[in-house]
Amino acid sequence: MATTSFHRYAVVSLLMIFFIQPSISIYCDEDDCYDLLGVSQNANASEIKKAYYKLSLKHHPDKNPDPESKKLFVKIANAYEILKDEATRGQYDYAIEHPEEVFYNTARYYHAYYGHKTDPRAVLVGLLLILSAFQYLNQWTRYHQAIDMVKRTPAYKNKLKALELERTGALSSKKKGGYKLDKKTQEELSKELELQIKGAEKPSMWGLLAVRFILLPYTLGKLVLWHGSWYWRYKINRTSYSWEDASYLTRRALGAPPDSWEYLDESTKKDLINRRLWVKSNLEIYLAEMRKESKRRR
């Protein structure tokens, strides 16, 4: 039992040495900030200032060429920077009284030391760049994973075979399964096939957060101009909707994503637009017809 207690005491002692001491020494290294200025912990701001000026005149490199004096001057200046500010001095006093709160004391020190020195704009730019890098890497990974999955499907392999037959002029009457492409040919032909997979599109620089943020004024200006033009044409002048605007209104009324709308054939689009579904009564009639048709198919 005595040996176990001794071991526990030794572990606690090591933790005190390696973790608790650094939480205080981050301010003035191994020295005490008050001792460096030759003042007590109860000294007021005026006494700290007088002590600093007195020591700085004595140890300033222009007054004292001694290398050790130069090192001491740096320490004195650092101690004064900490003690002259009420906030950092309060944090230092708290660290002295509560040395066991290692992480809390360390976090407060670095926040006070770097917080006012860092330009918020630089932080914002750095954050956007980091998020954009992760965004691009994530999209690139998803895109290649989707491409790899598609390339394993029989439909994709059949497309490659059809493309090879078209290029070489080979007869399409060969036996099914008897025509195989070597790996090199597959790689060459796959470059000619444009694969667009919904939900895993090829990453683009224009979709990154950083680029969108830079273009935000342009985007907002374009949006305001678009709404103003819309209001002028259709609210004031009462002109008929163009095909593009009617498509937009129809898609919005149906709640369809842009990609889903683009996949529709032109005849279906034309039929939906002619129904003027952006009018509430027309939309209700259309939805009722769809529900009725769905029940009939069941």
What pLDDT is attached to residue 200?
60
C-alpha separations of 71 from 30, 38, 181 in Å = 14, 16, 75
Q: In the chain, helix, strand, coil percent, each to 5?
A: 75, 0, 25
Q: What is the CA radius of gyration of the chain?
A: 36
Contact 273, 247 (CB under 8 A): yes
Tokens 């770097």 correspond to 114
What pLDDT is attached to residue 169?
61
- Residue ranges of alpha helices (H) inside 99-215 are 102-115, 120-151, 154-168, 183-190, 209-214
> What is the reported pTM?
0.46
Residue pLDDT tens, the chain, 298 long: 444 444 554 444 444 444 444 555 677 877 889 999 999 999 999 999 999 999 988 888 888 888 888 889 999 998 898 899 888 888 888 888 887 777 777 777 766 666 555 567 777 888 889 999 999 999 889 888 887 887 777 877 777 777 777 766 654 444 444 455 566 656 655 655 555 555 567 788 888 888 998 999 999 999 999 999 999 998 898 898 999 999 999 999 998 888 788 888 889 999 999 999 999 999 999 999 888 888 887 7
**What are the tokens at 286?**
């259309």
Contact 112, 87 (CB under 8 A): yes
Contact 20, 99 (CB under 8 A): yes
**What are the tokens at 82?**
């900490």
Q: How far apart are CA 117 and CA 120, in angstroms?
A: 9
Tokens 């842009």 correspond to 258
